[in-house]
Amino acid sequence: MNYSSSPIGIFDSGLGGLTVFKAVKDLLPCEKLIYFGDTARVPYGTKSRNAVISFSKEISGYLLLKKVKMLIVACNTATSLALPEIRRMSQVPVCGVIEPGVKAAIAATPYGGKILVIGTKATISSHAYAKALAKANKNIEVMEQSCPLFVPLVEEGWTDKAVTEEAALEYLAPYRSKKINTLILGCTHYPLIEKVVRRVMGNEVHIVNSAMAAAYASRQILQENNLLAKSFRKGPDRFIVSDAPEHFSKMADMLLGLKPDKVTIKRF
């Protein structure tokens, strides 16, 4: 079997992973993609560790049955809690979003400084970013802030509403006086409200988009494994959700300009 012509599987709890999907598509236009959004169980950030692991393994197993050549875990919560389990069950390379985000943040803060990580409650409670950052550079001071309202606001399509800015101010205003050098958007939903975060934090703070970092990391993994598509794949990419396909399709278009030809449902 010519695995280079196989699709890449990408999954997230809902819409947020579409930021990774779009970044991968822009960077690797010849690749065929299968995206799964677990819209029936979004958000993952408020779920228990065991629930997130169970959901992630279910979806990974489903995508592996589709003969994907690589899995991209486009969810920071799933990456922080379930990545080792997914790698153990997968016969193909697996890329999460935390390690690429950490590398990008370290590159942006090479001489040490203050890095603020924002994410879901589960991601922040895992301290996955803080541990990885401390290991990469001992001169980094890491601060962490959970922002649990951001995911439902994005899923509602309220990416530039007053309520979203009010939530951002509530979460982030205390850090404006702390001389933050770099801020990591530790959830793939958050790039969709990057402008709001920027307004609150100011232009002097470097913002790391973990979705874009994951796309570059995925390309490197495909290159190293000789899995890059050799030619353009004809036919549409596939979009699968566990609930509400109409809402998913509408938000994909409104938020990212993606126009899925068809969104199918897979329930577990």
Task: Judge whether residue 95 has pLDDT over 80.
Answer: yes
- Rounded to two decimals, the pTM is 0.95
Q: How confident is the model at residue 230 (pLDDT cuts 50, 70, 90)?
A: confident
Q: How confident is the model at residue 238 (pLDDT cuts 50, 70, 90)?
A: very high
If you classify domain 3-96+212-265 with CATH, what class do you get? alpha beta
Q: Which two tokens stand for residue 232?
A: 């353009």
Q: How confident is the model at residue 231 (pLDDT cuts 50, 70, 90)?
A: confident
As a whole number of angstroms, the distance between CA 211 and CA 189 comes to 9
Task: Judge whether residue 1 has pLDDT over 60.
Answer: no
CATH topology match: 3-96+212-265 vs 98-211: yes
Supply the CATH classification number for the domain 98-211.
3.40.50.1860
In the chain, domain spans:
3-96+212-265, 98-211
How far is CA 234 from its chain centroid? 26
Task: Judge whether residue 237 has pLDDT over 80.
Answer: yes
Return the bridge partners of 244, or none.
none
Name the active-site residue from 30, 75, 95, 147.
Answer: 75
95 is catalytic: no
As a whole number of angstroms, the distance between CA 33 and CA 216 comes to 15
75 is catalytic: yes
Work out the burial of residue 108: count CB atoms within 10 Å of its CB; fewer than 13 is exposed, 13-18 middle, 19 or more buried: middle
Name the active-site residue from 30, 95, 147, 187.
Answer: 187
Residue 14: DSSP 8-state: S
Q: What is the pLDDT of residue 2?
A: 62
